[in-house]
Structure 1
Amino acid sequence: MNLPLHIQLEDVQNTPDQRCLPIDRVGIKSLRYPVLFQASATESPIRVVADFNMYVQLAHDVKGTHMSRFVELLETPDLVISPDTLSDFMQQMLALLEAQSGQLEMQFAYFMRKSAPISGVSSMMDYQVSLIANVDPEFSLTAKIAIPVTSLCPCSKKIAEYGAHNQRSLVTISVELIEQMSLPELITLVESQASSQLYGLLKRPDEKYVTEYAYDNPKFVEDLVRDVAASLNQCAAVDRYVVECENFESIHNHSAYAMLQGGRGRS
Structure 2
Amino acid sequence: MNQTELNNQKQLPSKKERHKLFGSVDPGPRTKPVDKDKMADLQNSRKDFLFDIDLVGISNVKHPIRIPSQLTPEIQTTIGTFTFGSSIKKGSKGTNMSRFTEQLDKYHHEGFAIDVATLKDFTAELAGRLKQSDACVEVSFPWFFERKGPYSDLTGMNHADASISVNYEEEKGYDVSVTLTGKITTLCPCSKEISEYSAHNQRGNVTMKVKLTDDFNEQDIDWKAALLEAAESNASARIHPVLKRPDEKMVTEQAYENPRFVEDIVRLVAADLYEYEFVESFEVTCRNEESIHLHDAAAVLRYDKKDERGE
Are 1:202 and 2:237 counterparts? no
Match of 2:256 in 1: 215
Post-superposition offset of 1:87: 1.3
- The one of the two structures with greater contact order (alpha-carbon pairs below 8 A, sep at least 6) is 1
Matches for 1:150-165 after TM superposition, within 5 Å: 150-165=185-200
Are 1:89 and 2:122 counterparts? yes
CA distance in 1, matches of 2:154, 2:64: 30
CA distance in 2, matches of 1:39, 1:138: 26
CA distance in 2, matches of 1:13, 1:97: 12
Unaligned runs of 5+ in 2: 1-32
Are 1:144 and 2:179 counterparts? yes
Which amino acid in structure 2 is aligned with residue 46 of structure 1?
A: Q
Q: Would you say the 8 A contact 1:153–1:220 is kept in 2?
A: yes
Q: Deviations over 1:38-70 (max 9, x none)?
A: 245997442221211110011332222110111
Larger radius of gyration: 2
CA distance in 2, matches of 1:203, 1:149: 18
Q: Deviations over 1:74-102 (max 9, x none)?
A: 11222222123221111111111111122
Which amino acid in structure 1 is aligned with residue 211 of structure 2?
A: E
RMSD: 2.0
CA distance in 2, matches of 1:119, 1:42: 18
Structure showing the higher helix proportion among its residues: 2
CA distance in 1, matches of 2:103, 2:113: 11
Match of 2:167 in 1: 134
CA distance in 2, matches of 1:115, 1:133: 33
Task: Calculate the TM-score normalised by the size of structure 2.
Answer: 0.80
CA distance in 1, matches of 2:64, 2:118: 17
CA distance in 1, matches of 2:124, 2:86: 11
- Segment drifting more, 106-115 vs 168-177: 106-115
Are 1:102 and 2:143 counterparts? no
Percent sequence identity is: 35
Match of 2:20 in 1: none
Task: Calculate the TM-score normalised by the size of structure 1.
Answer: 0.92
With over 3 angstroms needed to count, the CA separation of the structure-2 counterparts of 1:95 and 1:45, relative to structure 1, is farther
Q: Would you say the 8 A contact 1:116–1:202 is kept in 2?
A: yes
Q: Would you say the 8 A contact 1:54–1:105 is kept in 2?
A: yes
Post-superposition offset of 1:34: 1.5
CA distance in 2, matches of 1:87, 1:131: 10
Post-superposition offset of 1:20: 5.4
Are 1:18 and 2:48 counterparts? yes
User: How many pairs are equivalent?
Assistant: 265
Post-superposition offset of 1:4: 8.6
Match for 1:113 among 146, 153, 175?
A: 146
- Secondary structure of the residue aligned to 2:247 is helix
Unaligned runs of 5+ in 1: none
Q: Would you say the 8 A contact 2:147–2:158 is kept in 1?
A: yes
